[in-house]
Amino acid sequence: MKNFFKYLTLSFFILLVIVVYSGTYLDIPRDKLEAKYASGASEFLNLKNGSRIHYRDEGDLYKPAIILLHGFNGSLFNFERMVPLLSKEFRLISIDLPGFGLTGAIPSMDYSTQNSILVINELTKHLGVEEFSIAGNSMGGGIAWRYALENPEKTQSLILLASSGIYSSEERLQIEESERESPLVWKLMRSNFVSYFLSLYTPKFFATQGLKTSVYDPNLATEEIANQFHELTLMQGSREAILSRFSKQNYNNEKPEILKKIQAPTLIIHGREDNIISFKSSINLDQYIQNSQLMIYPKIGHLPMYETPARVADDIKNFLLIED
| Confidence category of residue 186, pLDDT binned at 50, 70, 90 | very low
Of residues 184 and 84, the one with the higher pLDDT is 84
CA-based nearest residue to 236, from 20, 26, 68, 17:
26
- State the DSSP code for 28: B
CA-based nearest residue to 67, from 130, 4, 150:
130
Per-residue confidence (pLDDT) for residue 208, from 0 to 100: 87
- The whole domain housing 166 covers 2-323
Per-residue confidence (pLDDT) for residue 185, from 0 to 100: 46
Number of C-beta neighbours around residue 314 at 10 A: 13
Over 70: is that where the pLDDT of 8 sits? no
> Are 281 and 163 in contact, with CB atoms under 8 Å apart?
yes
Lowest-pLDDT range, 16-25, 49-58, 280-289?
16-25
Enter the pTM of the model: 0.86
Per-residue confidence (pLDDT) for residue 209, from 0 to 100: 87
CATH number (domain holding residue 192) = 3.40.50.1820
Per-residue confidence (pLDDT) for residue 253, from 0 to 100: 64
Q: Mean per-residue pLDDT for 40-60?
A: 95
Q: Mean per-residue pLDDT for 299-312?
A: 98
Per-residue confidence (pLDDT) for residue 244, from 0 to 100: 74
| Confidence category of residue 6, pLDDT binned at 50, 70, 90 | low
Q: Report strand pairing: 65-69 vs 132-137.
A: parallel
Q: How far apart are CA 79 and CA 116, in angstroms?
A: 18
| Number of domains the chain is built from | 1
Residue 297 backbone dihedrals phi, psi, to 5 degrees:
-95, 125
**What's the chain's Rg over C-alpha atoms?**
19
Q: How far apart are CA 118 and CA 302, in angstroms?
A: 26
